[in-house]
Amino acid sequence: MAIAVALALVLIVIGSVAFHLLSPWWLTPIASNWRYIDDTIVLTFWITGAGFIIVILFMAFCLFRFRHKEGRQAAYEPENRGVEIWLAMVTAMGVVALLAPGLLVWSQFITVPKDAAEVEVVGQQWQWSFRLPGRDGKLGVSDTKFVDSDNPLGLNPDDPNGRDDVVIVGADLHLPLGKPVKVLLRSIDVVHDFYVPEFRAKMDSVPGLVSYFWFIPTRAGTFESLCAAFCGVGHPQMRANVVVESEDGFQEWLRKQHTFAQSSPQTTKAAARR
C-alpha cells in the first residue's frame, strides 16, 4: 500500500509539471508592455514549484524507505535543532526570492511616464464607469457628496475643469493604441478591484482613496475587465470591455461621447450662479 501511495505522489508531480508546461496560460495574448510581470509570475512558479516537487518527492521517498517491515521499530525524535535551522534558512531564502522581484515590479507598476494620459475608472455596485479629460486635458475634482442620479461619478459642478470631462457610465472604455495611460481608480461604495487579465493590470479600488497604475496598450482588440474583489451579489456581472484602437478610431469614438456639462443639469445651474 505504501508503495502505491508513493507512486501516486510521483505521478502527481509529473502531471502537475506537464500541466504547467502545456497550459494555455502561455498562449494568453499580451496587450501591454509589462513583460516583467509575466517574468515575475514565471519566477514565482519556479520557486514555489521547486518547493512543491521537493516536498512531494520527499514524502514519496519516506513512504517507500520507511514502509512497514516485519521487526522494524519506529524511532521517536520530537526535536531536531539542525533540521529546524536548515528549514528556517531555506524558507527565509525562498521568501526573499519571492518578495524581492515583486518590489522591483511594483516600482515599475506605479512609476508613471510624464506623457501618460489620465483615465479614471470608478467602481460602483455593480458596474464600471469611466472618465476622460476633455479638451483642457485636466480631470475635474470629485466628491461622493455630489453623487446622485444626474451626477453618478460625483463631479464637482463648480469646478470648471470638470465641465468638459467625458463621462461614460456602464459602457465600454476606448483607449488609443501605443500610448501610455495612467489609470486612476476610485470607488463610491465598497471595495472593488479593476482587473484586465490580458493587460496584466490589477488594482484595488477603495472608497475614500485614489489608487493608480499605468500601462501601454500594444495590441488592438477588445479586452474584458472584471471586478476581482467580492463586492456583493452582483459581483460576477460587474464587467466591461476595454477597446484598444488606432488614434483616429479613438478620436472618432471620443467625439461621440457626452461631456459632464452635456449630461448633468448641475453644471448648468453652477454656470448660472457664476
pLDDT of residue 21: 80
User: Is the same domain home to 198 and 86?
Assistant: no
DSSP secondary structure string for all residues of 90-116: HHHHHHHHHHHHHHHHHHHHH---TTP
Tell whether 237 is covered by a domain. yes
User: Is the same domain home to 124 and 102?
Assistant: no
User: Is the same domain home to 131 and 225?
Assistant: yes
Tell whether 74 is covered by a domain. no
User: Is the same domain home to 145 and 124?
Assistant: yes
What residue has cell string 483615465?
A: 119
User: Is the same domain home to 93 and 123?
Assistant: no
181-211 pLDDT tens trace: 999 999 988 999 999 888 888 889 898 889 9
pLDDT of residue 7: 86
Tell whether 104 is covered by a domain. yes
Q: What is the CATH number of the domain that holds 150?
A: 2.60.40.420
Residues 6+ away with beta carbon under 8 Å from 128: 121, 122, 170, 173, 194, 225, 227, 238, 239, 240
Structure pTM? 0.72
What residue has cell string 520507511?
A: 66
From residue 227, give the alpha-carbon distance in Å to each of 24, 35, 147, 233. Answer: 22, 23, 21, 12
* ω into 253 cis (within 30 of 0): no
User: Is the same domain home to 135 and 57?
Assistant: no
User: Is the same domain home to 87 and 135?
Assistant: no
Q: Which residues of the chain have pLDDT under 50?
A: 268, 270-272, 274
- Determine the structural domain holding residue 218 and report its residue range: 117-273
User: Is the same domain home to 98 and 123?
Assistant: no
Residues 6+ away with beta carbon under 8 Å from 232: 125, 126, 190
Tell whether 214 is covered by a domain. yes
User: Is the same domain home to 84 and 131?
Assistant: no
Tell whether 141 is covered by a domain. yes
Query: Contact, 155 vs 264, CB < 8 A?
Result: yes
pLDDT of residue 25: 65
Tell whether 207 is covered by a domain. yes
Q: Number of folded domains in the chain?
A: 2
pLDDT of residue 27: 63
Q: How far is CA 242 from the centre of its chain?
A: 14
Tell whether 262 is covered by a domain. yes
pLDDT of residue 272: 47
User: Is the same domain home to 200 and 250?
Assistant: yes
User: Is the same domain home to 91 and 141?
Assistant: no
* Average per-residue pLDDT for the chain: 84
In angstroms and rounded to an integer, the radius of gyration of the C-alpha atoms of the chain is 26
User: Is the same domain home to 219 and 261?
Assistant: yes
Tell whether 203 is covered by a domain. yes
Label residue 174 exposed, middle or buried (CB < 10 Å: 0-12, 13-18, 19+): buried
